[in-house]
Structure 1
């Protein structure tokens, strides 16, 4: 298979795994809703409003943190990077500390025709009353506000002082590489086609996926246990997620 054909197929898989069905809700009246057969059918795709201050009211990680995931009795160690992705990293660490990910399911695992991603973290997937066909349509609902928490797309260009918020590199006309690229073991947020729609679902790259750079927010990397990630099968449970270091770097902006 040629390089162009492989890239085209992988881009199609991106649409199925990271785009459609990663976030749901009720969209504003002036937002178009994807009505293609692959889109969620139970609820409609939504988008968070453009933030004036992208960190306002959101958890922010000021520095690094270490998170351990236990899957099939084995441990995966993640280094979470709040230096280059403070909002995305802060959201993840906060959800880990809340226990949101404990008992969730890896609902999409794609290794063919080439290693792609394992995706999980949907809070709906640990509810036994929710059918498996709906896994991948859920968000984190803040118990204080009783509304879903969305975070803005956050990607920092290499050598830049701060991240770009709310736009892909292409939309912003940026040709630089990201500070956190999609190399094997990268941990990033899944979202719908709306840039500011990431909530809780995340994925781990099974190979180098440079064509995702500038489009999805990487916020950390697997530092130990990539062999465990390689062994994850669709339907496997994330038994526990624990912040083992750096929790004191987590702040919540007013």
Structure 2
């Protein structure tokens, strides 16, 4: 397992093929980092589907309102919701959208990020300065690469569990 330097700012996402370890960037995007930890601690991300997975681009998940197995998974609605909390304002930085970075999904309003996020499969520098980067995969990118593709996938992969490393 990867060396976890800051367990309070490390997320462990359990996927079907194994764990993905994400180092959050609270110095760069403190509000987004805090939101992810809050939703992880709430258990809101558990069983949530990857509802938009584009080969060579990214895997998007985190619609806690429409993509949870306990609720009716509706591929037509997945990707349109957020959490019970207020939206998070943009925290743009000079950190590039490289392979393995975590970006905040949002609507056309830059200050509309809430619970959804994406993991970049490759370097997607055309997103730089337009979407908040608030984490990076430090181990398990091969498990991200194995996520079922589709917009939405017919049988989507899910985040089995999402935990803050300090709590695991």
Q: TM-score range by the shorter chain?
A: 0.7 to 0.9
The reply on whether 1:131 has 2:77 as its aligned counterpart is no
Tell me the secondary structure at the aligned position of residue 198 of structure 1.
coil
Larger Rg over CA atoms? 1
Give me the whole-angstrom Cα distance separating, in 2, the residues matched to 1:104 and 1:227: 19
Map of 1:1-254 to 2, 5 A cutoff?
Answer: 65-111=9-55, 115-123=56-64, 124-126=66-68, 127-142=70-85, 149-156=86-93, 178=94, 180-233=95-148, 234=153, 235-245=156-166
CA displacement at 1:88 relative to structure 2: 1.1
* 8 Å contact from structure 1 (residues 184, 205) kept in 2: yes
* 8 Å contact from structure 1 (residues 64, 79) kept in 2: no
CA displacement at 1:84 relative to structure 2: 1.0
- After TM superposition, the runs of 4+ consecutive aligned structure 1 residues lying more than 6 A away are none
Q: Deviation per CA, 1:127-182: give whole Å up to 9, x if none.
A: 4324221100111014xxxxxx20001113xxxxxxxxxxxxxxxxxxxxx1x210
Give me the whole-angstrom Cα distance separating, in 2, the residues matched to 1:129 and 1:244: 29
Alignment length (residue pairs): 153
Give me the whole-angstrom Cα distance separating, in 2, the residues matched to 1:109 and 1:129: 20
TM (normalized to structure 1)?
A: 0.58
* 8 Å contact from structure 1 (residues 85, 154) kept in 2: yes
Give me the whole-angstrom Cα distance separating, in 1, the residues matched to 2:71 and 2:114: 21
Give me the whole-angstrom Cα distance separating, in 1, the residues matched to 2:38 and 2:87: 13
Over aligned residue pairs, what C-alpha RMSD do you find?
1.6
Give me the whole-angstrom Cα distance separating, in 1, the residues matched to 2:115 and 2:77: 15
Give me the whole-angstrom Cα distance separating, in 2, the residues matched to 1:131 and 1:108: 13
Tell me the secondary structure at the aligned position of residue 126 of structure 2.
helix
- Highest relative contact order (Cα 8 Å, sep 6+), 1 or 2? 2
Give me the whole-angstrom Cα distance separating, in 2, the residues matched to 1:116 and 1:132: 20
Question: Unaligned 5+ residue runs, structure 2?
Answer: 1-6
Give me the whole-angstrom Cα distance separating, in 1, the residues matched to 2:8 and 2:161: 20
